[in-house]
Amino acid sequence: MAKIEEILALEQIENDIFRGIATETLLPRTFGGQVAGQALVSAVRTVDPGFGVHSLHGYFLRPGNPTMQIVYLVDRIRDGRSFCTRRVTAVQDGKAIFTMSASFHGEDRGIEHQDTMPRVPMPEDLPDPDLVDDQTVRWARIEWAEWEFRFVPPEQMDTSRRWAAQQQVWFRSREALPDDPVFHVCTLAYMSDMTLLGSASVGHPDEKTQGASLDHAMWFMRPFRADDWLLYDQTSPSAGFGRALTQGRIFDRNGNMVAAVVQEGLTRYLRDS
Cα atoms in the Cβ-side hemisphere of radius 13 Å centred on 175: 10
Q: Residue-wise over 108-120: b if at least 16 C-beta within 10 A, else e?
A: eeeeeeeeebbeb
Among all residues, which ones are annotated catalytic? 193, 213, 263
Quote the CA–CA distance of 21 and 168 in Å, as a whole number: 31
Q: For residue 168, which of 214, 230, 225, 213 has the smallest C-alpha distance?
A: 230
Rounded CA-CA distance 118/129 in Å is: 21
Distance of CA 68 to the CA centre of its chain: 21
Amino acid in position 19: R
Q: What are phi and psi of 5, to 5 degrees?
A: -65, -35
CA 156 – CA 46 distance, rounded (Å): 44
Q: Where are the alpha helices (DSSP H) in 56-150?
A: 135-143
Cα separation of 208 and 204, whole Å? 9
Q: Give the CA diameter of the chain.
A: 57
- The number of beta carbons lying within 10 Å of the beta carbon of residue 65 is 15
Whole-number Å distance between alpha carbons of 261 and 234: 9
